[in-house]
């Protein structure tokens, strides 16, 4: 069943090879069903390959190559997890600048499982209440975040989720927060 909660809201999904498939596919489906326009943004120009619980998963088309992506064209940002994905993204200055622009413009961001690793890399975790997979708690604490072990945490315009099992709650809260993004696109 579709609705129009996010009609007109454009969401960038920043990934490269090795993102956790379920952490992109299920939130993207929820966003699309709520009326959002989602776009995969990647340093790769054609396709990105998912990681699916311990083995390589599906390949998805890249909608906007990172070299052509402009944060001002989007209202919100989704950061799926995946260790390989995040380790590759964090050493790419353009990817980190793209993510940082959403925080600089006070636009909504949602990150699940290991997705908050990007937030630590761009120095945007300080004074934020956040959750993540337990293996990131030390990184988040060291970056100045108040890490808590909860399904989902909403801190102003930031939604963080703990794991794939928490996706239903993560999606619900992400849609609420992203709903407030309407009209924020050109703020970056």
Predicted confidence (pLDDT) per residue in 111-131, tens digit: 999 999 999 999 999 999 999
**Angle 93-97-100 from CA coordinates, rounded to 5°:** 140
Grouping H, G, I as helix, E, B as strand and the rest as coil, residue 147 is: strand
Number of domains composing the chain: 1
Inside any domain, residue 2 = no
Annotated catalytic, 113? yes
Contacts of residue 42, defined as CB under 8 A and 6 or more positions apart, other chains included, come to 14, 15, 16, 48, 62, 64, 65, 66
- CA 53 to the chain's CA centroid: 18
| Cα–Cα distance, 103 to 98 (Å, whole number) | 10
What pLDDT is stored for residue 184 in this prediction? 57
Structure confidence at residue 82 (pLDDT): 95
Predicted local distance difference test score (pLDDT) of residue 53: 83
Instruction: Tell me the β-bridge partners of 2.
Output: none
1 domain-assigned: no
Q: Which domain holds residue 159?
A: 10-187
3 found inside a domain: no
Would 122 be classed as within a structural domain?
yes
Give me the pLDDT at residue 181, please. 72
Does residue 86 fall inside a structural domain? yes
Residue in 25, 113, 175, 188 annotated catalytic:
113
Q: What is the pLDDT of residue 180?
A: 84
Q: Which CATH number does the domain housing residue 121 bear?
A: 3.40.50.880
Residue 97 within a domain: yes
Determine the pLDDT at residue 63: 98
* 34-to-2, 3, 14, 140 alpha-carbon distances in Å: 6, 5, 19, 30
- Does residue 167 form part of some domain? yes
Please indicate, yes or no, if residue 4 is contained in any of the structural domains: no
pLDDT of the residue at 111: 98
Residues of the chain with pLDDT under 70: 1-3, 182-188
């Amino acid at each position: 069943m579709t609705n129009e909660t996010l009609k007109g809201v454009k969401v960038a999904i920043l990934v490269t090879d090795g993102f956790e498939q379920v952490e992109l596919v299920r939130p993207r489906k929820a966003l699309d069903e709520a009326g959002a326009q989602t776009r995969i943004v990647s340093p790769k120009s054609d396709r990105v390959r998912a990681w699916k619980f311990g083995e390589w998963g599906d390949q998805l088309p890249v909608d906007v190559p990172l070299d052509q992506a402009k944060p001002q064209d989007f209202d919100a940002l989704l950061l799926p997890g995946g260790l390989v994905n995040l380790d590759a993204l964090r050493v790419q200055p353009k990817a980190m600048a793209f993510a940082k622009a959403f925080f600089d413009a006070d636009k909504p961001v949602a990150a699940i499982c290991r997705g908050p690793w990007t937030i630590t890399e761009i120095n945007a975790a300080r004074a934020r209440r956040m959750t993540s997979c337990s293996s990131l708690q030390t990184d988040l604490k060291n970056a100045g975040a108040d890490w808590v072990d909860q399904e989902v945490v909403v801190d102003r315009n930031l939604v963080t989720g703990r794991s794939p099992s928490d996706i239903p709650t993560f999606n619900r809260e992400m849609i609420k927060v992203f709903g407030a993004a309407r009209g924020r696109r050109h703020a970056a």
